[in-house]
Structure 1
């Protein structure tokens, strides 16, 4: 498996790419917006390719996506890991107004201070987060809730756990260096929220994940097809999607009609045939791209599958092509 899941980055216990997707959630950068909502205001956030996180600094709000509705209050952290579209609304007023939140392309170095509106009852600090690494499988099988909240009264809340004073956080949103300070805050909040999510959902254990098998098997197939050069094993593929070896092997055979090894071998051979017949790559390079450490082992596998070695097939095709040229 290529970087960022290189062998040197695996833990001593041999954790593979699925574990890396679960533990490597360092925040590289974030865009931040401060929203102060008067009663009856609703803020819409369109789908984002990056995770979105909110911290309620004051007041109460309702956060809602297509499937989930959460009532939150000051000190709660809300995480939309997949960046799904959602809305945040302040307590209802006499009239309802709606706006769409627009993320800035780049955070200003010295954002000017502005006082809160006098009728604001809910203050929300929102982050659009760039993670160090989120493996495509973690997004594909969606093992996490679309919307999740870590509440102030749980596990001591972020105020107690991170020694944060909610009343002072608004002030750090302005002035020189504010983006750097807010980026550090996003890292702390995100890491703490994820740790609490693991404790609440899986109790820090790797358990059966509530995701339908078709999507999980699809993720395993995508991994094999995206990286045919990797020496996949059934055990590693099962670990990759968060399953036991036996459960994955049985489900794969039932859904696909062949074993994972048979599928990978067939895919490699079909890809090899295309490269042998249509490209100018050497047999050695084709073998390397398809996970064969030696060209001789690749040639034997190819001959066993197609009835002739790749070099012979190329020579035959080259001879046929030259004959056609001479004929014309």
Structure 2
């Protein structure tokens, strides 16, 4: 067993297979690094203006996350399999699995399908929706987004059906309210760069919502999330995610975190739910899938970057974990 200072020394050394030095102030917080990868892509925003009575049925958006920020008024959120939730000004609701759900002025109101309502398209990614029968007003920002990084996918799969943040009960109430006011102002008067501002503000709100859930829900202390918060197993996961091409073995990972091979393998499987080398292979393939979506990488180069000796070996592993060939994955995103 190695002393803690030996582990710290390893954290700050030259990272293998790169030319970058891990400076002492670079985060070695695995959970924080997972949250770091929650950068939104493919964002679509809707400024919704409702007058009671009204009801909106949103369809499922596979592989998307949806959120709603209440600017004024109130509404009910209904997600199948969960209790209806009242949302009021300043509240933030996150539906992380892209499930269909309803927003209603009252729980008894019938909902109209989103795509049956007229919408004003302001830009390619921004629209305005007005609906209702002239009663009490409710204003909100609604959004669908996707996350492409495999660490984001791993995290989002563990989240509940929806996350609700009642802003005035959080210790961060003031800055959350300031963020919401700025987002509302940008939504009302969309200026050059306004979509980018809204996206960055939404990044902050989504991460804060997930942080709040992790801090409050005992479920977040188990499984992969629990493993990230374990000093040694969490650091091993961080190493795998930072250096997927490194020729990892169970013995090498155990040595990096100062554990015996057998103790490391048993603890990793207990916390993560699969053996270390299966996790390594799965992470590599999810990384490859992200790279296939982002660029026109030759398969041979992808295989080399992920530590495979041949394109054929890489393709077999990719199909085993992803379910389709690399070529099919590339064509699906074209």
Pick the TM interval, shorter chain. 0.5 to 0.7
Of 88, 91, 96, which aligns to 1:73?
88
Aligned pairs, number: 243
Of 7, 14, 24, which aligns to 2:37?
24
* Contact 2:54/2:104 (<8 A) preserved: yes
Q: Counterpart in 2 of 1:289?
A: 308
Q: 1:158 to 1:48 in 2, by over 3 A?
A: farther
Q: Distance in 1 between matches of 2:63 and 2:278?
A: 34
Q: 1:167 to 1:51 in 2, by over 3 A?
A: closer
* Contact 2:76/2:107 (<8 A) preserved: no
Q: Distance in 1 between matches of 2:161 and 2:19?
A: 31
Q: 1:262 to 1:182 in 2, by over 3 A?
A: closer
Of 46, 49, 54, which aligns to 1:36?
49
Per the alignment, in what secondary structure is the counterpart of residue 144 of structure 2?
strand
Q: Counterpart in 1 of 2:161?
A: 146
Q: Distance in 1 between matches of 2:111 and 2:279?
A: 54
Of 231, 238, 242, which aligns to 2:248?
231
The 5 Å alignment of 1:15-164 reads: 15=28, 20-28=33-41, 30-37=43-50, 38-69=52-83, 70-92=85-107, 96-100=110-114, 108=123, 118-131=134-147, 133-135=149-151, 138=154, 142-156=157-171, 158=173, 160-164=175-179
Of 188, 192, 200, which aligns to 1:184?
200
Task: Give the TM-score taking structure 2 as reference length.
Answer: 0.53
Q: 1:290 to 1:108 in 2, by over 3 A?
A: same
Per the alignment, in what secondary structure is the counterpart of residue 153 of structure 1?
helix
Per the alignment, in what secondary structure is the counterpart of residue 212 of structure 2?
helix
What runs of 5+ residues in structure 2 fail to find an aligned partner? 1-17, 226-236, 258-263, 282-299, 311-334
Q: 1:198 to 1:53 in 2, by over 3 A?
A: same
Q: Counterpart in 1 of 2:284?
A: none
Q: Counterpart in 1 of 2:212?
A: 196
* Contact 1:77/1:149 (<8 A) preserved: yes
Q: 1:155 to 1:16 in 2, by over 3 A?
A: closer
The structural deviation recorded for 1:126 is 0.7
The structural deviation recorded for 1:33 is 0.4
Q: 1:41 to 1:109 in 2, by over 3 A?
A: closer
Q: Counterpart in 1 of 2:14?
A: none
> For the aligned residues, what is the CA RMSD?
5.1
Q: Counterpart in 2 of 1:172?
A: 187
Indicate whether 1:209 and 2:223 are aligned.
Answer: yes
Per the alignment, in what secondary structure is the counterpart of residue 52 of structure 1?
strand
Q: Distance in 1 between matches of 2:27 and 2:174?
A: 36
Q: 1:181 to 1:201 in 2, by over 3 A?
A: same
Larger radius of gyration: 1
* Contact 2:78/2:102 (<8 A) preserved: yes
